[in-house]
Amino acid sequence: MSHSAAPIITVQQHILQDQQRFPGSSGEFSWLLSGITMATKLIQAKVRRAGLNDMLGAKGEINVQGEIQQKLDVYSNEVLIQCLSARESIGVLASEEDERPLLVHQGSEQARYAVVFDPLDGSSNIDVNVSVGTTFSILRRPEGVGLDDPQKWVLQPGAKQIAAGYVVYGSSTILVYSVGNGVHGFTLDPSVGAYILSHPNMRMPEQGKYYSVNEAYRDNFPPRYQQYLDRLRNGTLGHAYASRYIGSMVADFHRTLLKGGVFLYPPTAENPDGKLRLLYEANPVAFLAEQAGGTAIDGTRRVLDIQPESIHQRTPLVVGSRVELADFERFVLEPETPQAVASE
Ligand code: AHM
Ligand code: MG
């Protein structure tokens, strides 16, 4: 008897297949990634109960379970560190929440990877029940660099990421990751606690209908960015765009990945480097965008080519579909071309 139903694939099975791309890794890479998936399941459980936690005890107080109430971003950070520091293959962890990188398994020869993450991005949205997320980026220990210099493990251009991804805690919990072999999305089935492949081989549409930017800051954007937004609105790219802005990068990017369009966090007069962090916000998103057929630039350069100078450095970000990004590059980066001038 033949069976026509599609197979059910969990993220663990998928990672094991992907791992064959890393000869000699003998299971350690899938073990590492399973630390991330475990942590995000714990985080999502806490996020889902956020309103109840507030009800059961104010921050800093002891709740009915005897736990001290913690801010969710602090909790998320600790959970990731707890889950990842059990993996012998990891030597360095760097988080948005910690000023310096954290050393784990000091002296272990097996420690070959660094993991950089933002444990709870967009956390100001928690109070109003709007999507938040976790982002992560995995780097290989550079040749000849020891544990005495953890900064060097993580200060590598995004093009060196061997894996990156995010989890969006939205109306469902979705994990999206890539090991440089396409982008794949998994939806958490909360009844069994497993991430199930729901979005294989994600491709960003060539063009979308939305732009996504905090337009309240528009007057402070460089003039060319302002004019670019006008082009999107006035139909220069073939249709008039609508806007969508959640204020959680992970959620705004997730929509851009699925529906196409462009997400921007431009430089402003006060913040010439924008707001987003290069290592654990822009880099994972840029890696996924490129893997899905999109483009990510900092306004002038490819994000993945930027050599980071410090762990928490910021970068402007323009990421999205090919058509929107090609127009950005033509219009904003080469403003002297006759085409750009003619359409002003
Ligand atoms: P956070 O890491 O403090 O949560 O800040 C990052 C968030 C991003 O998720 C989002 O894209 C951006 O801040 C929104 O900033 P703004 O309110 O300036 O538009
Ligand atoms: Mg953040």
Whether the CB-CB separation of 236 and 191 falls below 8 Å is answered with no
Residue 251 has a pLDDT of 98
Query: How far does the centroid of ligand 2 lie from the alpha carbon of residue 276, in Å?
Result: 7
Is the distance from the beta carbon of residue 312 to the nearest atom of ligand 1 less than 6 Å? no
Q: Give the mean pLDDT of 141-157.
A: 90
Residue 266 Cα to ligand 1 midpoint, Å, equals 12
Average pLDDT, the chain: 90
Is the CB of 249 within 6 Å of ligand 1? yes
Residue of minimum CA distance from atom 16 in ligand 1: 247
Task: Kindly report the CATH number that applies to the domain delimited by 210-343.
Answer: 3.40.190.80
Tens of pLDDT, residue by residue over 161-198, are 999 999 999 999 999 999 999 999 999 999 999 999 99
Closest residue to atom 5 of ligand 1, CA basis: 122
pTM above 0.85, yes or no: yes
Phi, psi of 165, deg, nearest 5? 180, -175
Average pLDDT over residues 227-256: 98
Residue 65 in this model has a pLDDT that exceeds 90: no
The domains of the chain are located at: 11-201, 210-343
* Ligand 1 in reach of 134 Cβ (< 6 A): no
Sign of CA dihedral 302, 324, 282, 267: positive
Per CATH, which fold does 11-201 belong to?
A: Fructose-1,6-Bisphosphatase; Chain A, domain 1 (3.30.540)
CB 266 less than 6 A from any atom of ligand 1:
no
With a 6 Å cutoff on the Cβ, whether 123 touches ligand 1 is: yes
122 Cα–ligand 1 center, Å: 5
- Please list, in sequence order, all residues whose beta carbon lies within 8 angstroms of the beta carbon of residue 82, skipping any fewer than 6 positions away: 39
For ligand 1, whether the C-beta of 119 sits within 6 Å is no
pLDDT tens digits, one per residue of 196-211: 999 999 999 999 999 9
Q: Is the CB of 142 under 6 A from ligand 1?
A: no
Distance CA 190, CA 180 (A): 28
Between 88 and 343, the more confident residue is 88
Ligand 1: nearest atom to the Cα of 123: 4
pLDDT greater than 70 at residue 60: no
Residue 191 CA, chain-centre distance (Å), reads 26
Ligand 1 atom nearest the C-alpha of 132 is 9
Arithmetic mean of pLDDT, 246-269: 97
Q: Please state, for a pLDDT cut of 90, what percent of the chain lies above it.
A: 71
